Amino acid sequence: MHAHTWFRLHVLMLTALAALVVAPAPPANAGAIILRLGDTVAETNPQFLAHQFFAKRVAELTKGQAEVKIFMNSQLGGHTQMNEQVASGALEVAKTGGAFMSTYDKRLSIWSLPYSFPSLEKLFAAQDGKLGQAYEAIAEKYGFKLLGLYYSGTRDFYNKKGPIRTPDDLKRLGMRLRSMPDPVMIDTFNTLGAQAIPLEANDVYNAIQQGLIDGAENSITWYLTMKHFEVAPYFSLTHHFFSVDPLFVSVKWLNQQIPEIQKAILQAGKETIPYQRKAWADDEQKNYEKAKAAGIKINDADIPAFQKVAKPVLEKYAASLGELYPILKEYQ
C-alpha cells in the first residue's frame, strides 16, 4: 500500500474512533419517566382497574413523557415496606392500607375509627372536603403526597370457627383476628371481644391455615379475590369500618420532576377517584352474589350491639386525632 494512502486511512480510522469516544451517550431518561405503582392486592381486585385508569391518564396528560408501571400482589413488598420506600423516594407511587399510616402520625388513624360515618355519602363528602385536605397536609410532612383516597368497601369479620352475630360471639369463640398495625384498629377489635394480631395483608392466608389466627376482616371483594374463603368460610356482616386506602406519590421524587409533570400526575390522581369508586361499587354487588352462590356462610350481625360496645373507642382516641377529630364530627 502506498505510504500516503496508508497514512490517510490511518487518520480516517483514528478520526472515526475519536468520534465514537467523544460522541455523547444518549441520556438515561431519553424515554418516558417511569413511575412504579405498588399494591398488595390481586389483579382481580377492582383497584387494579383504577390503577390502569391512573396510568392511562398520566400517559395522556404528559403526552407520553411519563409512564406508570403497575406491580400487584405485593411484588414490591407489603404496605410497611412500600411506605418506607415512598417516604425515602426509592418508590414513586404506592397504594397503602389507611391504618398503616398511623405509624407515622397518630392523627392519620382518622379513617380507622369504628362506625365513624353514618353513610357512604358522608364518608365521601369528608374525603373530598375539609377532612381529606387536613389529612393530606399531615401526610405530606412525612414524605407522602396524596393522589387520592380509594374506597375499598365496608369491612366485615370472617373466620373459620363460626358465625359472629354479636360481640359476645367474639369472646365465646376466643377469636384471634388479624389487624393492621394501627392502635385504633387493634383497640377496636380487643374492645369488641376479639384478640387483635397485627399482620401484613399478604401473610393472612397462611396464618389462618396454620392456626396462628382464626380469621381477619376486610371487604367481601378482598375476601374473594385473595381466596380467604378457602380457609375461613364464615363471613359476618358487622360493617365495623369503612375501608380507606390512600394512593400516595413520593414527595421527594415528585419534587424532582418539572412542574408540568407534577401537575399532570396530581391531576390524574384526582380524576381516578370517581372512577375507582364506581368500579368498586359495581364489583362489590357482584361479589356478594358470587359469595352466596358459592355457598359461603354469610350472616347478618347485630350492628347496634357492635356500635354500642365500640363507642368508647371513639371517645378514647378523640384527643390523639388532634385537629382532625373536630372536623370528623362535622360529617357525623
108-148 residue pLDDT tens:
999 989 999 999 999 999 999 999 999 999 999 999 999 99
- Whether residue 8 is predicted with pLDDT greater than 60 in this model: the reply is no
**Domain, as residue range, for 165:** 32-330
Q: Which three cell numbers mark 232?
A: 375461613
pTM reported for the whole predicted model: 0.81
Instruction: Judge whether 163 lies within some domain.
Output: yes
Instruction: Judge whether 167 lies within some domain.
Output: yes
Mean per-residue pLDDT for 177-196? 94
Mean per-residue pLDDT for 260-269? 98
Q: Which amino acid is at 298?
A: I
- Whether residue 10 is predicted with pLDDT greater than 70 in this model: the reply is no
Q: What gap in Å lies between CA 179 and CA 158, rounded to an integer?
A: 12
User: How buried is 4 (Cβ within 10 angstroms: 0-12 exposed, 13-18 middle, 19+ buried)?
Assistant: exposed
Banded pLDDT at 149 (limits 50, 70, 90): very high
Number of domains in the chain: 1
Instruction: Judge whether 8 lies within some domain.
Output: no
Instruction: Judge whether 11 lies within some domain.
Output: no
Taking alpha carbons only, the member of 154, 121, 160 closest to residue 285 is: 154
CATH code for the domain in which residue 133 is found: 3.40.190.170
Question: What is the overall mean pLDDT for the chain?
Answer: 90
Instruction: Judge whether 22 lies within some domain.
Output: no
Residues 6+ apart with CB under 8 A from 150: 47, 50, 95, 244, 245, 246, 247, 273, 276, 280
Mean per-residue pLDDT for 249-265? 98
Answer for the pair 185, 223: CB distance below 8 angstroms, yes or no.
no
Q: Identify the pLDDT of residue 30.
A: 52
Banded pLDDT at 99 (limits 50, 70, 90): confident
Q: What gap in Å lies between CA 244 and CA 247, rounded to an integer?
A: 10
Taking alpha carbons only, the member of 187, 166, 165 closest to residue 109 is: 187
Answer for the pair 246, 151: CB distance below 8 angstroms, yes or no.
no
- Whether residue 215 is predicted with pLDDT greater than 60 in this model: the reply is yes
Q: Identify the pLDDT of residue 305.
A: 97
Taking alpha carbons only, the member of 110, 115, 111, 112 closest to residue 308 is: 115
Instruction: Judge whether 12 lies within some domain.
Output: no
